[in-house]
Amino acid sequence: MTELKNDRFLRALAHEPVDVTPVWMMRQAGRYLPEYRASRERAGNFMGLCGNPDMACEVTLQPLERYPLDAAILFSDILTIPDAMGLGLYFEPGEGPKFEKPVRTEADIMALDVVNPEADLPYVLDAVKTIRRELGGRVPLIGFSGSPWTLATYMIEGGSSRDFRRAKQMMYDRPELMHHLLDTLAQSVIRYLNGQILAGAQAVQIFDTWGGALSHNAYREFSLRYLEQIVKGLIRQHDGRKVPVILFTKGGGQWLEAMADTGADALGLDWTTDIGRARARVGDRVALQGNMDPTILYASPERIREEVGQILASYGKGSGHVFNLGHGITPEVDPEHAGAFIRAVHELSAEYHGQ
């Protein structure tokens, strides 16, 4: 077991004492960094980066060279599982991910097999191994996957969607067919995340990006049910340490108690939920991650620092908080503003820890 030089992130997730609140950013390796854009240009395209373990390692480490972050997150994409199922993932400039072969019929869905990450996604597992080696214990490495519901929306719609018309039509008209797809995806996510853990990921996050688009009852039936299935199927102890699981449902603030019931170690919050109220609702059952509005990074460093202070004050004293944005950092953010954000978290949070 490689000794971790900085384990604040894992300690906070376990509600153990920390000196300052740990911080990382969703999409911290991304287009806001000029060094990332240079790497992507060398790779030719986004999937060229994801599919090359050495380049995926390079861009994973780039933000850690700039900032005193408390965790690294694997550079990959949430849609690698459907791509491994043969749907043909590609990216249109300015339009996001698309699939050459969306699944629209019963025959399409019944033809899908559960993914075997060792055979179908070896480049991801190789990237995890490479990143762990190159990190040398600096900070923990986070692995991740998209949630079954989120993956299903992209697979059925063929890409991003504003109203999820096709996915919701299938969900309401053919619930048994949607459940078959979601179960196939949940089994795939379990294998995929367990593969990442065995390869060296020290924590995992499930991105339920579109769970908040569902009604109250539909969320519980078509998203939360499968998040719980995944949590129960994951390796929770490896390499002499507990492997924490973080659930992040964007727009999911109304379901925090039910999400805590899944057995996850932490819940990610977007910026629409007050973190102090969230803490009062879930207590010490789970840690909380979040939840600054990423667009505030367009504001001045002084205003960013003020917002950080307000969120820290709302959470209050004690461990169990991992500071993050409420969603991914956006491409137009000035890297200096991201640095100001991270410095503010460390500088302002010390008073909330210790005696």
**Per-residue pLDDT tens over the stretch 286-332:** 999 999 999 999 999 999 999 999 999 999 999 999 999 999 999 99
31 is a catalytic site residue: yes
Residue 196 marked ligand-binding: no
Residue 216 marked ligand-binding: no
Backbone region of residue 101 per phi and psi (left: phi > 0; alpha: psi in -120 to 50; beta: other values): beta
**Per-residue pLDDT tens over the stretch 163-217:** 999 999 999 999 999 999 999 999 999 999 999 999 999 999 999 999 999 999 9
Domains of the chain: 8-352 (3.20.20.210)
**Per-residue pLDDT tens over the stretch 291-300:** 999 999 999 9
Per-residue model confidence (pLDDT) at position 1: 57
Residue 30 marked ligand-binding: yes
**Per-residue pLDDT tens over the stretch 78-94:** 999 999 999 999 887 77
Residue 38 marked ligand-binding: no
40 is a catalytic site residue: yes
- Flag the least confident range among 94-108, 114-128, 302-316: 94-108
Q: How far apart (Å, rounded) are the C-alpha atoms in residues 12 and 223? A: 27
241 is a catalytic site residue: no
Which is catalytic among the residues 31, 225, 241, 281? Answer: 31
Per-residue model confidence (pLDDT) at position 159: 86
Per-residue model confidence (pLDDT) at position 341: 98
154 is a catalytic site residue: yes
77 is a catalytic site residue: yes
Q: How far apart (Å, rounded) are the C-alpha atoms in residues 303 and 350? A: 19
Q: Is residue 76 within a helix (H) or strand (E), and if so which, with residue range?
A: none
Query: Which distant-in-sequence residues (6+ apart) come within 8 Å of 248 by Cβ?
Result: 205, 206, 207, 208, 267, 268, 289
pLDDT bin (cut points 50, 70, 90) of residue 45 is: confident
Average pLDDT, the chain: 96
Q: How far apart (Å, rounded) are the C-alpha atoms in residues 47 and 61? A: 18
pLDDT bin (cut points 50, 70, 90) of residue 3 is: confident
Which is catalytic among the residues 40, 220, 285, 303? Answer: 40
Per-residue model confidence (pLDDT) at position 257: 98
